[in-house]
Amino acid sequence: MDIKANLLAVKKSFQNPECKLIAVSKTKPIEALKEAYEAGIRDFGENKVQEIQWKQPEMPADTRWHMIGHLQSNKVKYIAPFVHLIHGVDSFKLLKEINKQGKKIDRAIPVLLQIHIAEEESKFGFDRAELTEMFADSEFLTLSHVQIKGLMGMATFTENQGQVRKEFRGLKQLFDDLKSQSLPPFVQLEEISMGMSGDYLIAQEEGSTMVRIGSAIFGAR
Ligand SMILES: *Cc1c(COP(=O)(O)O)cnc(C)c1O
């Protein structure tokens, strides 16, 4: 697997050269991450707390760790001190726990809210109504140790590119709608994390600012 060549090919294919690339290194050995680091990558995505925990001390200090998977509330404390961005915040309960852990260490932890855009039942995330409900909750306004930096979504796993495009477009629409509302100061919507190896080009066409790419860089898992 030529990680450097894959990275170059992926970067070259970008529809939007400004879009940030998160290299999804879950299940891959530390040598693979180091190879990507040497090729210039600083942003790495992992989906298991335990795996981030053992990989983090093995990598240079300027590595930025992105938690991209479903995160259990009881594990937030293990990554709170160093995680660069938590992409998959899919409930108010989890957001409150992140806030609590941030408070303990006096750090406002950067997060994205995961939005349910796929047809599949299994994908986690808020829907529009749940988001509105949370924003209207008086407890939401008291959050002091999270920074909500944007939204994240995963499209349906399908060959139907029209459907994938429609789902990404819906996420961008929601992002724009929210941006036009008045929101508390800890909500600064800047990022839309959407697009993986199979659909990042469509995602970029639909306004993604951050793509999470694993297999196209590191090979199949
Ligand atoms: C694994 C994973 C990715 C990367 O998937 P690839 O298809 O390998 O690019 C992106 N986002 C999330 C949330 C993932 O779990």
Q: What is the rounded distance in angstroms from the CA atom of residue 114 to the CA atom of residue 87?
A: 7
CATH of residue 37's domain is 3.20.20.10
pLDDT at 122 over 90: no
Q: Which atom of ligand 1 is nearest to the CA of 68?
A: 13
Ligand 1 lined by 215 (C-beta under 6 Å): yes
What is the pLDDT at residue 206? 98
Best of 48, 66, 196 to mutate for ligand 1, by most ligand atoms within 8 A of CB? 196
Ligand 1 lined by 113 (C-beta under 6 Å): no
Bridge partners of 110?
147
What is the pLDDT at residue 119? 84
In the reported structure, the alpha carbon of residue 63 is separated from the centroid of ligand 1 by a whole-number distance in angstroms of 19
Beta-carbon count within 10 A of 40 CB: 11
What tens digit of pLDDT does each residue of 170-185 get?
A: 999 999 999 999 999 9
Query: Structure tokens of 125?
Result: 């995330």
φ/ψ of 89, rounded to 5, equals -80, 110
Q: Which of 93, 107, 43, 98 is nearest to 75 (CA)?
A: 98
Residue type, 131: L
Give the residue, by CA position, lying nearest to ligand 1 atom 6.
Answer: 214
Ligand 1 lined by 48 (C-beta under 6 Å): no
- What is the total count of domains within the chain? 1
Cα 185 to chain centroid distance, Å, stands at 21
What is the pLDDT at residue 185? 96
What is the pLDDT at residue 219? 96
What tens digit of pLDDT does each residue of 62-114 get?
A: 999 999 999 999 999 999 999 999 999 999 999 999 999 999 999 999 999 99
CB-CB contact of 216 with 203 (8 Å)? no
Q: Which domain holds residue 133?
A: 3-218
Reported as a pLDDT band with limits 50, 70 and 90, residue 123 is low
Cα 157 to chain centroid distance, Å, stands at 17
Model pTM greater than 0.95? yes
3 state DSSP class of 132: helix
Q: What is the rounded distance in angstroms from the CA atom of residue 130 to the CA atom of residue 136?
A: 10
